[in-house]
Amino acid sequence: MPKNQHSNAKNLQVLHEDNHLIVVNKRPGDIVQGDKTGDTPLSEVVKEYLKVKYDKPGNVYLGVVHRLDRPTSGIVVFAKTSKALPRLNKLFAERGTEKTYWAVVKNLPNKTEDTLVHWLKRNPKQNKSYAHKKEVPDSKKAILAYRLIKELNNYYLLEVDLKTGRHHQIRSQLSGIGSPIKGDLKYGANRSNPDGSIHLHARKLHFIHPVKKEPLTIVAPVPKDPIWDACS
């Protein structure tokens, strides 16, 4: 993926920031936390951004609360204080958040809206989850609701509300009903996107602020490309 498409401290898209947390719009190709590739993770980019913005000497505190798959885009929340991190972790772990995604698919599902229930079994070697209609050993129940919100020339835009948070859940479940996400070769798309992205975007997040106790709703603009442009 071309370097200029990654987030850096100068082009970081900050959607919300207060004393306790910072929410950014992840670009496709950004990794949230460091991995074996050695590429600079988004967490380090955000630290650098905060260091420069507030002219901070020494290390900047930043807690990783959740992740998004590397080829996806959208909302990522980080904790700025050690007080906020365990509260945010609890919020995400106990599904105290409402997550809405946008997914562009080539094949229209049989129903324009539906709730999907699968049992997902993860294969760590392949870094892939398989969707089963019935429970199988070592599988986890996965639930999402989707609805068709726009018909494009050759594709369909689905809005997905995530009810559980499983590994590759949306990718696996949509593939399981014959509607793989555009560009997602791993889950059955017929070709990849030139930049290695997939058309899955963490669009909206709603939760009660862990410290202020006020409702917070964040919406992330979609990446710039002709397909996403046609969606918004």
Q: Identify the CA nearest to 158 among candidates 204, 221, 102.
A: 102
Q: How far apart are CA 108 and CA 204, in angstroms?
A: 23
Q: How far apart are CA 3 and CA 33, in angstroms?
A: 17
The helix or strand, by DSSP H or E, that contains position 52, with its residue range, turns out to be: helix 42-53
Q: How far apart are CA 68 and CA 58, in angstroms?
A: 28
DSSP state of 62: -
Is 69 labeled as catalytic in the residue annotation?
yes
| SS3 state of residue 173 | helix
DSSP state of 153: S
Q: Parallel, antiparallel, or unpaired for β 21-26 and 128-132? A: unpaired
Token look-up 């807690």 returns: 63
Q: Which of 18, 30, 35, 69 is catalytic?
A: 69
Within a 10 A sphere around the Cβ of 82, how many other Cβ atoms? 9
Q: Which residues are catalytic, by number? A: 69
